[in-house]
Amino acid sequence: MSAQEYVVLLHGDEAPWREADDAARTQAYREHGEFSRLCAEHGHEIVGGAELRLSETSLVVRRRDADVLVTEGPFTETVEQLGGFYQVRTADVADLARLCALIIGDGAAEIRPIVTDEDRESETPTAAGTATP
């Protein structure tokens, strides 16, 4: 199987992180360090990623007809928010998923494939207006 790039989206409740002491934060960063080490050991190449600031620092841009609305705060009012992401190139997404258990705590990881140039080329509309396989 050839390698493909995925984004690992890390969702969780921000309240424990907001209230975490230095020891808890240090432990979380250690877990991410171990995740990175094991990814390399298992042949998963981390090509990008970042921790995100808390959701209340975000801006949400929406379009309603001709109007553009910009609001502060998270897109949705849910307990779980997007807290960070990794971009990973791997040929074994099942193994990557197992490793994500190291870094999700009580949250969740969503692993989503990235659209490639080849994907876009294969979706070129035909003369009949349907996508080619």
Three-class secondary structure assignment of 89-119 = EECCHHHHHHHHCCCCCCCEEEEEECCCHHH
| 9: pLDDT strictly greater than 80 | yes
Tell me the per-residue pLDDT of 31-62, one tens digit each, with 9 for 90 and over: 999 999 999 999 999 999 999 999 989 998 99
More confident residue, 65 or 131: 65
CATH topology for 4-117 is: Alpha-Beta Plaits (3.30.70)
DSSP conformational letter for 131 = B
DSSP conformational letter for 4 = E
pLDDT of residue 23: 98
Round to whole Å and give the CA distance between 89 and 61. Answer: 30
pLDDT of residue 73: 79
| Residue ranges of domains in the chain | 4-117
**Dihedrals φ, ψ of 88, to 5°?**
-130, 135
Round to whole Å and give the CA distance between 57 and 47. Answer: 25
| 28: pLDDT strictly greater than 50 | yes
As a whole number, mean pLDDT of residues 27-31 equals 97
Tell me the per-residue pLDDT of 64-112, one tens digit each, with 9 for 90 and over: 999 999 988 776 667 789 999 999 999 999 999 999 999 999 999 999 9
